[in-house]
């Protein structure tokens, strides 16, 4: 690579401004994709760029790089890259080059994140001969193709459990198999705080946190579906004060604020602790309903939409205890629920394998990308 010429990015590449195109001026029946800094935002009938190009986010997702394999209309929150006179680039090489530079690290931190051309133009780039560019593109395209296949396989694996649920139990919206229906409140354990939201107001503030002790569980853990994540704690005195909010094995932990549908089931082994105000816990009567069955039911599209319809809170959905207690749940026989959980476990193993394969493929691509442009 020592024989490759180096230049400031601005010497070899122009980042041309996209053009303004308000939504009301677009032709939604058109065939030309309209690109913002984060992907396609609509359609139009004329193009700004008539061939393959590379789009770089200017505002919002500043520095994000997209390859477009055809005519397009980049709007004014973007730049589009084009070689300057005297420079020759394979367009896909240019895409990988700009992607490897990680221009997002140059974005401004105030107001709406933005990337200035002046900052980008100061970056140093390698410009190899065109045959070498094409060799690099061939290698990286193959590796990226493997990543894409892995993502597709992972997506299909994630669809297995919802498909199994519908096959065994039918659509909750119509209950075609005629399962008995109960309110969720009737399926909770008999203990006093079987359905409970986290503490509000002054009961739990950040100044009460301690370096070690009883863990505070929040949306971060549920979104990741990983209760080992995070390191916020309270001491023994505060834990006893908030005992009604403590979690136990098999509890469902449900995100209350934002898009409903993020749920974790507390495993056999977990760190004792409480939920914060953004979570609700449900302790079930497991002689009637299994937590893993209920999680699959509640995270399905039908029940999520039903809960969203009942939620409130303006721009963000907020789910409360009353909404959850009054939710109508169909209840198949416990033996059938157990069979579903066993089958779902096998499918979950497939998902885990696919996820690991995707992670490995992505790591391989990232290593090849870095190596292709290293000095």
Q: Which domain holds residue 190?
A: 180-331
Provide the whole-model pTM.
Answer: 0.74
What is the length of the chain? 375
Instruction: Give the residue among 223, 292, 289 at the shortest CA–CA distance from 252.
Output: 292
Mean pLDDT of 299-316: 75
Which stretch of DSSP H or E encloses residue 247?
none
C-alpha to C-alpha distance for 203 and 225, rounded to whole angstroms: 26
* Residue 131 falls in which region: left (phi positive, over 0), alpha (psi -120 to 50) or beta: alpha
Residues 111 and 194 in one domain: no
Is pLDDT of 327 > 80? yes
Band (pLDDT 50/70/90 cuts) for residue 109 is low
Does residue 134 sit within a domain?
A: no
Whether residue 186 is found in the same domain as residue 321: yes
> What's the pLDDT at 321?
87
> What percent of the chain clears pLDDT 90, i.e. is strictly above it?
78
Note whether residue 122 is domain-resident.
yes
Which range among 34-48, 86-100, 194-208, 323-337 shows the weakest confidence by mean pLDDT?
194-208
Q: Among 331, 346, 364, which residue terminates a domain?
A: 331
- Domain-located, residue 196: yes
On whether both 104 and 197 belong to a single domain, the answer is no
Residue 313 has pLDDT above 60, yes or no: no
Task: Pick 254 or 111 by higher pLDDT.
Answer: 254
Residues 252-272: tens digit of each pLDDT? 999 887 666 789 999 999 999
Alpha-carbon distance 342 to 335, whole Å? 11
**Residue 344 covered by a domain:** no
Q: What is the DSSP string of 36-86?
A: ETTEEEEEESS-SB-S-EEEEE-BSSTT-EEEE-S-BEEBTTEEEEEEPTT
12 and 98 part of one domain: yes
pLDDT (mean) for 331-343: 97
Average pLDDT taken over every residue of the chain: 92
DSSP state of 199: P
Question: Beta strands of the chain (E only): which ranges?
Answer: 5-8, 13-17, 32-36, 39-44, 53-57, 65-68, 73-74, 78-83, 124-127, 181-183, 195-197, 214-217, 233-234, 252-255, 263-265, 273-275, 279-282, 328-330
DSSP string, 186-197: HHB-SSTTSEEE
What tens digit of pLDDT does each residue of 174-191 get? 999 999 999 999 999 999
Are both 118 and 184 inside the same structural domain? no
Answer whether residue 340 is part of any domain: no
Find the helix or strand (DSSP H, E) in which 245 lies: none
Residues 119 and 184 grouped into a single domain: no
Whether residues 190 and 259 fall in one domain? yes
| Predicted confidence (pLDDT) at residue 131 exceeds the cutoff of 70 | yes
Check pLDDT > 50 for residue 170.
yes
Residues 198 and 326 in one domain: yes
The residue out of 296, 316, 331 marking a domain boundary is 331
- Please determine, for residue 6, whether its predicted confidence score (pLDDT) is greater than 60: yes
Asked if residue 184 and residue 49 are part of one domain, the reply reads no
Does some domain include residue 159?
no
At 145 the pLDDT is: 96
Beta bridge mates, 197: 280
Q: What is the pLDDT of residue 157?
A: 87
Query: In sequence order, what are the beta bridge partners of 273?
Result: 215
In a domain, 314, yes or no: yes
Domain co-membership, 207 together with 273: yes
CB 73 within 8 A of CB 48: yes
pLDDT classification of 315: cutoffs 50, 70, 90: very low
Our count of domains for the chain comes to 2
Residue 150 lies in a domain: no
- CATH code of 212's domain: 3.90.220.20
The two structure tokens encoding residue 14: 């122009």
35 and 107 co-located in one domain: yes
Regarding whether 196 and 121 lie in a shared domain, the answer is no
């Amino acid at each position: 690579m020592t024989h490759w010429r180096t230049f400031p990015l601005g010497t070899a590449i122009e980042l041309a401004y996209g053009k303004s195109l308000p939504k009301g001026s677009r032709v939604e029946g058109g065939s030309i994709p309209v690109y913002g800094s984060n992907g396609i935002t609509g359609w139009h009938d004329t193009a700004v760029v008539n061939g393959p190009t590379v789009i770089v986010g200017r505002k919002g997702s500043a520095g994000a790089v997209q390859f477009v394999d055809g005519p397009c209309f980049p709007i004014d929150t973007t730049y589009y890259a084009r070689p300057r006179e005297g420079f020759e680039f394979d367009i896909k090489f240019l895409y990988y080059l700009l992607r490897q530079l990680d221009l997002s690290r140059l974005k401004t931190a105030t107001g709406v994140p933005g990337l200035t051309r002046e900052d980008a133009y100061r970056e140093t780039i390698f410009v190899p001969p065109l045959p070498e560019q094409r060799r690099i593109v061939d290698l990286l395209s193959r590796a990226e193709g493997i990543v894409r296949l892995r993502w597709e396989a992972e997506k299909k694996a994630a669809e297995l459990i919802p498909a199994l649920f519908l096959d065994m139990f039918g659509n909750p919206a119509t209950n075609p198999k005629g399962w008995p229906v109960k309110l969720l409140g009737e399926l909770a354990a008999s203990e006093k705080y079987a359905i409970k939201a986290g503490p509000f107001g002054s009961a739990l503030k950040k100044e009460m946190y301690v370096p070690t002790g009883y863990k505070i569980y929040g949306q971060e853990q549920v979104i990741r579906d990983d209760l080992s994540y995070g390191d916020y704690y309270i001491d023994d005195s505060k834990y006893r004060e908030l005992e009604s909010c403590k979690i136990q094995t098999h509890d469902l932990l449900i995100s209350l604020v934002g898009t409903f549908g993020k749920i974790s089931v507390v495993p056999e082994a977990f760190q004792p602790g409480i939920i914060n105000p953004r979570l609700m816990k449900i302790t079930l009567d497991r002689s009637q309903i299994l937590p893993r069955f209920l999680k699959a039911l509640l995270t399905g599209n039908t029940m999520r939409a039903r809960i969203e319809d009942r939620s409130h809170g303006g721009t963000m959905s907020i789910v409360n205890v009353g909404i959850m207690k009054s939710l109508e749940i169909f209840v198949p026989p416990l033996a059938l629920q157990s069979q579903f959980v066993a089958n779902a476990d096998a499918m979950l193993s497939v998902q885990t394998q696919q996820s690991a394969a995707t992670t490995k493929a992505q790591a391989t691509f990232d290593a090849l990308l870095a190596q292709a442009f290293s000095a």
